[in-house]
Amino acid sequence: MMNEILIIARKELLSVVRERRVLFTTLVLPIVIMPLLMFGPILLFGNAARQTQESVQKVGVVGVPAEVLEQLRKAKVEPIEIANPQEAVQNREVLAALVFEKGTFTIYGRLSGGATQSALVVEKVQGALRAYKDRLVTQELQNRGIGTDILEPFRLETKDASREQERAAGLFAFLIPYFLVVFIQTGGMPVAVDATAGEKEKGTLEALLAAPVPLVQILLGKGLAVFVMSLLSTLAAITGLLLGGGVLRSLFATQLQAVQNGENAAQLGGALALDPLGYLSMIVTAVLFALLVIAIMISLGLYARSFKEAQSYMSPLMLVMIIPILFLQFSDFIKLQDWYFALPFVGVVLSLDAIVKGSATATLLSLTWVSTLVFAGLALYLAYRNFQREDVVFRN
């Protein structure tokens, strides 16, 4: 029995090896692209932000006192007189504008749409005004013979109490489940499509089904090939992330440190600090999840009449899987119930997140593993039933 399964799996993998484009996109591209995807934006934004801090920008001013203008110059902004601050900022004549009217300073900036250069300049202006305010307060206290200690009756410190694993993972805490889910599907999809709808479209499925091999072995052979590609692709992505991340961190150590204002580079992640049991748990979760996804993909692929139809069925699957990951970002605000860990996809994402953060428990992991195995079994049975149905296999 095993022999036929291996023969079929070997042929499916050989077909992939011959498709160099598929091989490149599933195995090579993740290694190259993952470090860039992870650290590229951080480095790019970090450098741009640093340059904005260090260089001088124009800021429109209306009615601003001379002392404040001097403070702005010290903060590396060049004040220029303007007539309409809102318009000047909107038309990008200046990156920010400052208006002083009736004892109130109003700062104008383009603050919608996330991290903008204007927002950074607004911060510079705010900093300059804070410094000016502190100077005025200090001066007034001194005039009245009061020490500045009164302004700080106690010290305030914040300490990161998250687990070592969570701190080391940094951004990974969210991204590892995401990438595992994405690469398990994208890595296996080309083989899943080719081995099911592809065989139908090429007409080779009939020859295969007419061979003296039981359907269940054909199904398992195809499943094994998809499984191997899924895991290889995921492995390539993680290798890219860890090795590439390491290389980038050493090459751009200064820049990364500057981005984080001199704090430990581990904040950015890329340094999984799991014990062997943690790694094993992650592998088991990923493997079980891969089984579920593969069984669903094969079932969908068998139902489809062509490559295109199979792809159109499988693409929404990615969205379905990503939704729990998006919610994961807000998991801190949700009171997690144990049964969430038994839900398809959701359980896997929650468990991976818990493993990466070092908060996984044996009960919750078991709940996810058993439920995922049951769902995978059901999906595999559905695929087998599809394989048995004439109206599905000969659907055209």
Partner 1 sequence: MLTLNTTQTQLAIEVSNLKKVFRKRDGLRGPIKEEWALKGVSFYVQEGETYGLLGPNGSGKSTLIRILSTLLTADGGTVRMLGYQLPEDETRLRRKMGRVSVDAAFYKKLSPRENLLYAAQLYGLEPRQAEKRAMQILEQLGLESRRFSDPIEEMSRGMQQKISIARALLINPPLLLLDEPTTGLDPKSRRDVQAFLEDLRAREGTTILLTTHDMAEAERLAHRIGFLAHGRLVAEGTAEELKRRAGTPDLEEAFIALTGEELDEEADSL
- Separation CA 200–CA 319 (nearest Å): 26
- Shortest distance (Å) from residue 172 CB to partner 1: 37
- Shortest distance (Å) from residue 195 CB to partner 1: 11
- Shortest distance (Å) from residue 199 CB to partner 1: 9
Judged by beta carbon, residue 19 or residue 93, the one nearer partner 1 is: 19
List the 57-62 sheet strands across, edge first.
77-81, 57-62, 96-101, 104-109
Judged by beta carbon, residue 209 or residue 243, the one nearer partner 1 is: 209
- Separation CA 364–CA 355 (nearest Å): 11
- Shortest distance (Å) from residue 29 CB to partner 1: 20
- Shortest distance (Å) from residue 241 CB to partner 1: 31
Judged by beta carbon, residue 8 or residue 364, the one nearer partner 1 is: 8
- Separation CA 152–CA 219 (nearest Å): 71
Phi, psi of 171 (to 5 degrees): -60, -25
- Separation CA 315–CA 304 (nearest Å): 13
**Sites of contact with partner 1 (CB under 8 A):** 4, 7-8, 11, 14-15, 18-19, 202-204, 206-214, 390-391, 394
Judged by beta carbon, residue 157 or residue 390, the one nearer partner 1 is: 390
Provide the 3-class DSSP secondary structure of residue 117. Answer: helix
Judged by beta carbon, residue 193 or residue 268, the one nearer partner 1 is: 193
Two structure tokens written together for 370: 């058993």
- Shortest distance (Å) from residue 394 CB to partner 1: 7
Judged by beta carbon, residue 25 or residue 162, the one nearer partner 1 is: 25
Which residue's entry shows tokens 């095993």?
Answer: 2
- Separation CA 244–CA 270 (nearest Å): 9
Which residue's entry shows tokens 């300049």?
Answer: 121
Q: What share of the chain is helix, strand, coil (3-state, %, to 5)?
A: 75, 5, 20
